[in-house]
Each structure stands twice: as structure tokens, then as C-alpha cells.
């Protein structure tokens, strides 16, 4: 092979879709992580503003984390029934809506 020749690897259509899905999952991971972190940072300010005691202020964080546990089983059943392509966006919309 000459020095002037180079090999160009063109990703297939399937590889492009995998990258897109991986990117979406990565973005959702950071969004959920940021919201989780933001809730714990806001607890002292909510405690002052809303005049909450310690138990009431930490129920805010508890309610956010318990939503993962409460929605785990219904979302698993939804994913098993509908598959990943339909089930993941449905679960995300349920979580955003607060169900």
C-alpha cells in the first residue's frame, strides 16, 4: 500500500442507528442523574422556604427515589409486552407525567 492511499471505513446503517440509540440512552442517563442530584441540593432551600422539618424535607427525596421502585414492576411488564422500541418511550412518558 502506498502512503498516498488510505482506508476509509464507512459505518453501516445499522451502526448509525446503534450510535443514535446509545446517544439517547446516554442523554437520558445524565438527565435523570441531574434531576436526582438537583432534588438533593434543593432540600435545604425548600426546608427554609416552606418551613419544613427534617422529616418533611427528606420525604421530598424519598418520594423521588420511591418512584423508581414503584414503577419498576409495571414498566418491566410493559417492556415485556410491547418490546423496547415502544416500551421505553412509554415508560419515560409515564415517569415525566408523574404516574
pLDDT at 99: 56
Answer with the residue of higher pLDDT: 18 or 47.
Answer: 47
Band of pLDDT at residue 59, cut at 50, 70 and 90: confident
Answer with the residue of higher pLDDT: 15 or 81.
Answer: 81
DSSP state of 10: P
pLDDT at 76: 80
Instruction: For residue 57, give the nearest of 75, 39, 73 by alpha carbon.
Output: 39
Instruction: For residue 95, give the nearest of 36, 38, 42, 23 by alpha carbon.
Output: 36
Nine-digit cell at 24? Answer: 439517547
Amino acid at each position: 500500500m502506498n502512503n498516498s492511499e488510505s482506508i476509509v471505513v464507512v459505518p453501516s446503517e445499522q451502526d448509525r442507528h446503534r450510535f443514535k440509540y446509545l446517544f439517547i440512552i446516554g442523554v437520558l442517563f445524565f438527565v435523570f442523574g441531574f434531576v436526582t442530584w438537583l432534588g438533593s441540593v434543593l432540600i435545604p432551600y425548600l426546608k427554609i422556604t416552606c418551613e419544613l422539618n427534617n422529616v418533611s424535607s427528606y420525604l421530598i427525596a424519598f418520594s423521588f427515589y420511591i418512584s423508581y421502585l414503584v414503577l419498576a414492576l409495571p414498566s418491566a411488564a410493559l417492556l415485556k409486552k410491547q418490546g423496547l422500541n415502544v416500551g421505553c418511550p412509554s415508560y419515560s412518558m409515564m415517569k415525566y407525567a408523574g404516574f
